[in-house]
Amino acid sequence: MAIFGSETTTDQILEGVDLNGRHFVVTGASSGLGEESVRALSSAGASVSMLARNPEKIDAAADRIRASVPSADLEKGIVDLADMSSIRSYAESFLQKEIAIDVLINNAGVMACPRLTTNDGFEMQFGTNHLGHFLLTNLLMPAIRTGHKPRIINLSSAGHTHSDVDLEDPNFETTEYSAWESYGRSKSANIHFTRELVRRYGDELQSFAVHPGVIITELGRHLTPELMEEMVERVKARSTSSTEAKQTGGLPFKSMEAGAATQVWAATTDDLAGNNGSYLGDCKVGVEGGNPSENGYLPYIYNEDTAKALWALSEEMVQQEFPSN
C-alpha cells in the first residue's frame, strides 16, 4: 500500500494510474475541489461528466481543464441539487444515454449559508448536500450498477463534528437555525448515507466518505466575521482537536491539489478494498476519536441505526423508495 498523507497531491495519487475506459461523474465540478478532481482524472485518461447548476461556470471550468489537459474527454450536465425536478430530469436524460458510471463523486456542497430553503422546501444545507445527492445517486443507480467495480464517493467534512443528523427536525422547523449545526448535520448525513449504501449493496459497490482538509475555495462565500469566530471557538472546544488547534482554533490549510487528493484516492485506489464504507482524511482511513483536521471522526457517524433511519427519512422526504434489489 502506498503511503500518502496531508500534502499528497492529485497528480501524485494518479502517478502511473491509467483511467482510459473509465467513466466518472462529478457534482459541483464548476469550481474548487470538483474542478481539480476532474482535471486530475482527465489527465489520467478518464472520461468525465461534469455536473453543475450554472452553465457559464461549468463552461469556464471545462475551458480551464481543456487548457491544461487538451485530450480531456468531458461531458457537461446541468443539475441543481436544490431542485428535485432538475435532478430527476438530469438523471432521466443521463440514463437514456446508457453510459455506465464507474465512479460517482458527490462533491457539490454549500456551507454555513443563512436559513434558506430549496425549491422543494427543504432546509438548504441538508437539502443540497444530503437530499440532493441521495436522490441523484439513487436515480443514477442503474448506470452505476453497470459500472466496472463501481464506487460512490461522498464529500463529507471535519464539520461533521458540529452535529449529528436530527431525524426529528431535519428542516429546523422546531429548533433554532444555526448555520454550523446545519452544515454539521448535512456532513454527518453524507457519512451515514455512505455506510447505508454499503450495508445495502454489500460487495456490489464501494463507497467512501471524504474529509478533504481545509482549502480556500468558493465554499466560504457565506462566511461572516461572526461565523468565522464561531467556527474558531468550535474547533477550540472540540475534545478531539489537536493541542495546537485547541489553543488557536487554527486549521492547517491545503493547496487545491492536496485538497482534492483524498477524493481522487478514494475514487481510484485498490488499497481500500478491505475498508468499504470508511470515512477518509489526508489520504488515509479514518480514526475514531482522532484529530478531525486530519482523519479523525466522532463515533456517532458509524451508528447503523441512524444510517438506516436517515435512509427511510430521506425516501419519505423525496417521496420515492429505493430498494436495493
What is the binding site for ligand NAP (CB under 6 A)? 28, 30-34, 52-54, 57, 80-82, 107-111, 128, 155, 157, 211-212, 214-215, 217-219
For the bound state, the minimum distance from the C-beta of residue 71 to ligand NAP, rounded and expressed in Å, comes to 23
How far apart (Å, rounded) are the C-alpha atoms in residues 142 and 175? 37
> Is 80 in contact with 57 (CB distance < 8 Å)?
no
Cβ proximity to ligand NAP: between 99 and 116 the closer is 116
Closer to ligand NAP by Cβ: residue 92 or 304? 92
**Cβ proximity to ligand NAP, 21 vs 238, nearer residue:** 238
Q: How far is the CB of 242 from ligand NAP (least distance, A)?
A: 17
What is the closest distance, in whole angstroms, from the C-beta atom of residue 309 to ligand NAP in the complex?
A: 23
Of residues 79 and 205, the one with the C-beta less far from ligand NAP: 79
Q: Which of 183, 201, 279, 297 is catalytic?
A: 183
Nearer to ligand NAP, 205 or 231 (CB): 231
Handedness of CA 59, 65, 68, 71 (dihedral sign): negative
> Is residue 183 annotated as part of the catalytic site, yes or no?
yes
Q: CA nearest 108: which of 212, 22, 34, 1?
A: 34
Q: Choose between 66 and 222: whose C-beta lies nearer to ligand NAP.
A: 222
Is residue 214 within 8 A of residue 28, CB to CB? The reply is no
Is the alpha carbon torsion for 320, 322, 323, 325 positive or negative? positive
Closest to ligand NAP by CB, 98 vs 248, is 248
Q: Is 215 helix (H, G, I), strand (E, B) or coil?
A: strand
Nearest by Cα to 50 from 69, 70, 76:
76
Q: How many CA atoms does the CB half-sphere of 218 hold within 13 Å?
A: 12
Rounded Cα distance between 113 and 3, Å, is 36
Q: In angstroms, what CA-CA distances link 17 with 12, 40, 281, 310, 319?
A: 10, 11, 21, 36, 41
Could you write out the DSSP letters of every residue in 57-93? HHHHHHHHHHHH-TT-EEEEEE--TT-HHHHHHHHHH
Question: From the CB of 282, what's the least distance to ligand NAP, in Å?
Answer: 12
The owner of cell 444515454 is: 97
What the block records as the C-alpha cell of 113 is: 449559508
Q: Which residues of 74-95 are buried (b: 16+ CB within 10 A; e: fewer)?
A: bebbebbbbbbebbbebbeebe
CB of 302 to ligand NAP, least distance (A): 19
Q: Report, as residue numbers or ranges, the catalytic residues.
A: 183
